[in-house]
Amino acid sequence: MIMEHQVGRENRLVIAHMYFATIALMVGASFGLLQALSRAQWAAAPAWFDYYRMLTAHGVLNAIVFTTFFICGLATLLTYRAIPRERSLWIGWLAFWVMAISSIMAALSILRGNATVLYTFYAPLKASPWFYIGTTLLVVGTWIVMIDLIQNALWFWRNHPGERLPLVVHGSLTTFVMWFIATIGVAIEMLVFLIPWSLGLVPKVNVMFTRVLFWYFGHPLVYFWIMGAYLIWYNLVPRFYGGKVFSDALTRLAFILLLLLSTPVGLHHQFMEPGISPGWKWLHTMTTFGVVIPSILTAFAIFASFELAAQRAGVKGFAATIAWLPWKNPAFTGPALGMILFIFGGLGGVINASYAMDTIVHNTMWIVGHFHVTVGGPVALSFLGAAYWIIPRLTGRRLWAPNLALAQTYTWFVGMAIMSTAMHWAGILGSPRRTDNVTYLGAAAASSWMPQMHWAAIGGTILFMSILMFVAVAIGTLFTPKTQMDPILPAPVEDEALATPAVLDRIGTWAVVAIVLAVLAYAGPIHELLTMHTYGAAGMRTW
């Protein structure tokens, strides 16, 4: 039995991650609200703090800092609990502080107006070196988290010969290995191109090359978020209705497939760009459809788990099963409402990936609607829901105002549904994304999308209130009386007829396969760019 103080020390590390994530979400979302209001012409960004500075802060804080801190905390927590032992936490804290300091570094350079380059930092827009160094160190911090997970897995294999790696450790580690392979792209972009260039050591930059490296990372970034949500959907959610993980083998298979298929797809973000032959774009379209498979497996596993648990409780039929689920437990409603939003997110994604349709929606508000209904909806809402279960078990205090927490999950769902529907619609009408309020001198097209911008602002306001509710509950839960809480354990797994194939645990081997696939998918376009006669571009500060 491991000592209680060990668990307490581990809990403090995870609390630090979760509250840092909460602060990033809160600050980032206030900018989101201001953007939504200014695009509806209900408020204007003050001259000293322009729209694009807010948009950069919103993208970086919400999509990068909030998600990364939450996922690092979650993977660490699940791994530590599945492998209880006396362990040193210096590596965990090292990762936390590297990530925290580097995020603050990047955030300050954005807020001071020295990095208004949006979270995609497309060259030759040239930000302050602090921004590039900060974001690079944030990535390095996540690599330290991965090393910690690897160490724990190795310890487990050494001390439990012949046993299967616990399911949550398998999922967490696979997620971070995928992330590592993906972030190599952005690390090269930063270290070889952008940092030397922003420091003035190199005069020019090959713009297309940096874009290909960015999107090599940019798409798997999305899957990093989604794998974080899947960790919750597979392993925690069944707890909330007394169910079990549907299948050990299927869960491991889904994570391994995500590891393999997340990277060789990035060019689907570059359909509309010169410098890349249509053949390569086509290849990446095909692989993009492959990534749908693990998501379909997941949808299937979730429903199967619902159904088996309901049957054990004597409930039969689809509608009765759905009604039987705990719709009054915020830890359940968060992820479950997120899953509903994900159905729309998935359909929209398949549309974006076909380039005939992408010509209509590329860089319009449709895309903004799409990622709010994927990362902003399913992922963020699953994280918040899970936090309602995790945080009280970390602090040893009961959840403050559970009804407020419940209301938070529903208001988020409603706000997100309104905001993203309006954004999708505005996008079809041609409204560009990443654009301050403008009427284009009263052009007819611009007035056609204005009503949708009003709806987006209404949805955005509801969403912002929802975030305030979450923050209130998160703070309140630091002050409720101490109580005895049940431990943080993932849901048990259904008994299975077939044993999980051992090969699914060979994460190292799969990582090699994933790298080979990435190389196959990128060797062509990169060779093409390297052999083309190209010209560099000088950096510019256009804000």
Partner 1 sequence: MTAGVITLIVFLCILGVAALHDNIVPPSHLQTIDPAQVSQTPPFDKPGLRKTGPKQYEAYLVAHIFAFTPESITVPAGSTVTFYATSPDVVHGFFIAGTAINMMVVPGWVSDDSHTFTKSGTYLLLCNEYCGSGHHFMYGKIVVQ
Catalytic residues: 219, 223, 370-372, 433-434
- The answer to whether 157 and 492 have CB atoms below 8 angstroms apart is no
| Closest distance to ligand HEM from the beta carbon of 203 (Å) | 27
The interface mask with partner 1, positions 334-363, x = CB under 8 A, is ------------xx--xx--xxx-xxx-xx
Judged by CB under 8 A, which stretch of 79-87, 91-99, 137-145, 441-449 contacts partner 1? 441-449
| Closest distance to partner 1 from the beta carbon of 504 (Å) | 22
Residue nearer to Cu ion on the CB measure, 282 or 318? 282
Residue nearer to ligand HEM on the CB measure, 212 or 375? 375
Binding-site member from 435, 450, 476, 489 for ligand HEM (CB under 6 A): 435
Q: Is the peptide bond before 124 cis (omega within 30 degrees of 0)?
A: yes
Taking alpha carbons only, the member of 246, 237, 231 closest to residue 330 is 237
| Closest distance to ligand HEM from the beta carbon of 294 (Å) | 21
Binding-site member from 18, 24, 32, 263 for ligand HEM (CB under 6 A): 32
Taking alpha carbons only, the member of 153, 139, 122, 279 closest to residue 220 is 139
Structure tokens at 455: 């709806």
Binding-site member from 436, 454, 458, 480 for partner 1 (CB under 8 A): 436
Contact between 433 and Cu ion per CB under 5 A? no
Contact between 443 and partner 1 per CB under 8 A? yes
Residue 50 CA, chain-centre distance (Å), reads 26
Contact between 463 and ligand HEM per CB under 6 A? yes
Judged by CB under 8 A, which stretch of 326-334, 379-387, 437-445, 487-495 contacts partner 1? 437-445
Residue nearer to Cu ion on the CB measure, 208 or 309? 208
Residue nearer to partner 1 on the CB measure, 16 or 299? 299
Tell me which long-range contacts 114-118 makes (C-beta under 8 A, separation of at least 24). 115/56, 116/50, 116/52, 116/53, 116/56, 116/543, 117/56, 118/52, 118/55, 118/56, 118/59, 118/434
- Residue count, binding to ligand HEM (CB under 6 A): 28
| Closest distance to Cu ion from the beta carbon of 223 (Å) | 8
Contact between 143 and partner 1 per CB under 8 A? no
Cβ-based neighbours of 199, under 8 Å, separated by 6 or more: 129
- The answer to whether 259 and 178 have CB atoms below 8 angstroms apart is yes
Q: Quote the CA–CA distance of 222 and 265 in Å, as a whole number.
A: 12
Judged by CB under 6 A, which stretch of 31-39, 226-234, 249-257, 401-409 contacts ligand HEM? 31-39
Contact between 219 and Cu ion per CB under 5 A? yes
The interface mask with partner 1, positions 363-382, x = CB under 8 A, is xx------------------
Q: Quote the CA–CA distance of 21 and 516 in Å, as a whole number.
A: 34
Judged by CB under 5 A, which stretch of 202-210, 216-224, 278-286, 442-450 contacts Cu ion? 216-224
What SS3 state is found at 535? Answer: coil
- The answer to whether 185 and 234 have CB atoms below 8 angstroms apart is no
What SS3 state is found at 538? Answer: strand
Determine the Cα angle at 131 with ends 128 and 135, to 5°. Answer: 155
- The answer to whether 78 and 235 have CB atoms below 8 angstroms apart is yes
Contact between 494 and partner 1 per CB under 8 A? no
| Closest distance to Cu ion from the beta carbon of 289 (Å) | 12
Q: Quote the CA–CA distance of 194 and 202 in Å, as a whole number.
A: 9
Q: Quote the CA–CA distance of 412 and 336 in Å, as a whole number.
A: 12
Binding-site member from 118, 253, 254, 418 for partner 1 (CB under 8 A): 118
Binding-site member from 10, 20, 24, 35 for ligand HEM (CB under 6 A): 35
CA distances from 355 to 340, 351, 432, 465, 529 (A): 26, 8, 18, 37, 21
Contact between 46 and partner 1 per CB under 8 A? no
Q: Quote the CA–CA distance of 96 and 16 in Å, as a whole number.
A: 8
Contact between 335 and ligand HEM per CB under 6 A? no
CA distances from 235 to 192, 323, 335 (A): 39, 21, 12
Closest chain position to ligand HEM (CB): 32
| Closest distance to ligand HEM from the beta carbon of 412 (Å) | 9
The interface mask with ligand HEM, positions 307-326, x = CB under 6 A, is --------------------
Q: Quote the CA–CA distance of 491 and 118 in Å, as a whole number.
A: 40
Residue nearer to ligand HEM on the CB measure, 79 or 142? 142
Maximum distance among all alpha carbons in the chain?
Answer: 71
Cβ-based neighbours of 12, under 8 Å, separated by 6 or more: none
List the single partner that 393 binds among ligand HEM, Cu ion, partner 1, none, CB under 5 to 8 Å by kind: none
Residue ranges binding partner 1 (CB under 8 A): 50, 52, 55, 116, 118, 122, 124-125, 206-208, 211, 270-278, 281-282, 285, 289, 292, 295-296, 299-300, 303, 346-347, 350-351, 354-356, 358-360, 362-364, 429-430, 432-438, 440, 443-446, 528, 532-538, 540, 542-543
Residue ranges binding ligand HEM (CB under 6 A): 29, 32-33, 35-36, 39, 55, 58-59, 62-63, 66-67, 118-119, 368, 371-372, 375-376, 380, 433-435, 460, 463-464, 467
